[in-house]
Structure 1
Amino acid sequence: MPLDKPYLDVPGTTIFDADQSRKGYHLNQFCMSLMKAENRVRFKANERAYLDEWPMTEEQKQAVLARDLNRCIQLGGNIYFLAKIGATDGKSFQQMAGSMTGMSEEAYRDMMIAGGRPIEGNRRIGEKKPEKN
């Protein structure tokens, strides 16, 4: 019996659950390998060859090569593991998050300091908008 997943109707959001974990297992293991300096050196020397050592899907490999972190998440990547790619590239988590939103690092930082994204347009599809009094 499939689990009820009411969180699947949050626009633009991929929840890292057991299904995503299974889908992204090898992608996330690749990311964790980047914790070792020698693996970072090997990856940067020939990214495709290093990725081909992992039983990831071609789509996952292409997402890594393109540094399309949003696509990596859709394909089972966990942001905490994917951060290892950013660190390998010399990027801060803030820079990575900004790139994932289409914003500059500064614009992303300013948005977060101001309280984050507005709730409008980011509610669950099944959630009613509160009525104004």
Structure 2
Amino acid sequence: MNKMFMSLIDEKARREFTADESAYCARCGLSEDQTTAVLQRDWQAMLDLGGSIFYIYKLAMMDGLSMQYLGGVFTGMSEDEFKAAMLAGGRTDV
């Protein structure tokens, strides 16, 4: 899955992915669970299935999402709450 995410740095690959996401996932050898997570943009499932946040972010960028958005998803915060927590020096409730 990480190799597929990394391939998205190439503009041609992004066009191919956008044209048929399911076929692109199949061509990259993703499992059914991985493909479902990608197609549904289930960010936590992608992480749980072995995705690296740094590679998952390549897909998030295609959707116009920020790293702070993903940080919020993975910590149960909104994007704005996550940004505020980082500006305040990080989470203090852990």
**2:46 corresponding residue in structure 1:** 72
CA offsets 1:47-102 (integer angstroms, 9 cap, x no match): 11111112121111111112122211111111111111011112121122223333
Q: Percentage identity across aligned positions?
A: 39
SS of match in other structure, 1:60: helix
Q: Does 1:118 align with 2:92?
A: yes
State TM-score, norm by structure 2. Answer: 0.86
Larger Rg: 1
Equivalent in 85, 103, 108 of residue 77 of structure 2: 103
**2:62 corresponding residue in structure 1:** 88
State TM-score, norm by structure 1. Answer: 0.64
Q: Looking at both structures, which has the greater relative contact order when contacts are Cα pairs under 8 Å and sequence separation is at least 6?
A: 1
**2:29 corresponding residue in structure 1:** 55
Query: Is the CA contact 2:44–2:73 (under 8 Å) kept in the aligned structure 1?
Result: no
SS of match in other structure, 1:52: helix
Larger % of helix: which?
A: 2
Q: Indicate how the Cα distance of structure 1 residues 87 and 108 shifts in structure 2: closer, same or farther if over 3 A, else same.
A: same
Count, aligned residues = 94
- Uncovered stretches (5+) of structure 1, i.e. residues with no partner: 1-26, 121-133
Q: Distance in 2 between matches of 1:41 and 1:96?
A: 23
